[in-house]
Amino acid sequence: MSREIEPYQVLARFYDGGWYEYSQYITELIEQMEGENRRPFRRICDAACGTGLLLRFLGGDGEAGGDGEAASGSPPRSLWGYDISEPMLARARERVPEATLRVGDLREQPPFHGPFDLFTCVYDALNYLHEEEEVLTFFTAAAARLAAGGVLLVDLNDPTMYLDRHGTVQPRLIDGVAFRETLSYQAGPPPMGITTFSFPEGDEVHRQRAWTFDEVEDLLTRAGLYLLDSLDVLEEGSSRSSGKIVYIATVRGR
């Protein structure tokens, strides 16, 4: 029987391949918001920033070695990010040396005070929070760090994401390393999706709570945030929802 190892202890090495195109999608969405609002996001904080992939795009380049200039040709953005995983942050520091990066937990107060024009948390990081109070703490802390007119952009997976993939096993081969990804769904309460990555070093078990739209909207409201928009992320090459929802919110009355 394989030993269980901490999430992202090994997966950090293979993480980028699975999120590269999604990072492009989120970046384009952010630039679209800038165009519609005629207001650039100068100061950006990315919570659970992982390997810094989104920060690299927002800095002006999807590849390491970018010049830190926004794609629109506007002045460079100021970038901050935090993550609980040291292996992920180590890669982020190499990729985005111009960003200010620190260790931080989504369940606690962010390590930066802001104010920020844009506060993000994507790649279903918030699904790792299993209690309402944990998500509420994050939303409230993010709201307190938004500048006037600032925007919070997050994504969360709903039960569809996990239910549709229950019982699937996918063999993977990345950079010459073979491993297996197994997915299961537990109806709960609360409903949980469990993804196990079986590496030669051991099994990384990722336990994520599935959050419904109504639950997320309620928590945003309780945190003093107003939901501006929500978007269903479609499955690649399909018009079918993947079960991942992007939420865009701002502080009420600010």
Digit-coded pLDDT (tens) for 134-151 = 999 999 999 999 999 999
Which residue type sits at 149? G
pLDDT above 90: percentage of residues in the chain: 67
- The half-sphere exposure of 213 on its side-chain side, counting CA atoms within 13 A, is 12
What residues does each domain of the chain span? Answer: 13-158+211-251, 161-206
pLDDT for 254 equals: 61
pTM given for the model: 0.89
Please give the class, per CATH, of domain 13-158+211-251: alpha beta
How much is the average pLDDT of 34-39?
85
Q: In 10 A of CB 187, how many CB atoms?
A: 12
- Cα gap 153→143, rounded to integer Å: 11
pLDDT for 109 equals: 96
- Cα gap 190→192, rounded to integer Å: 6
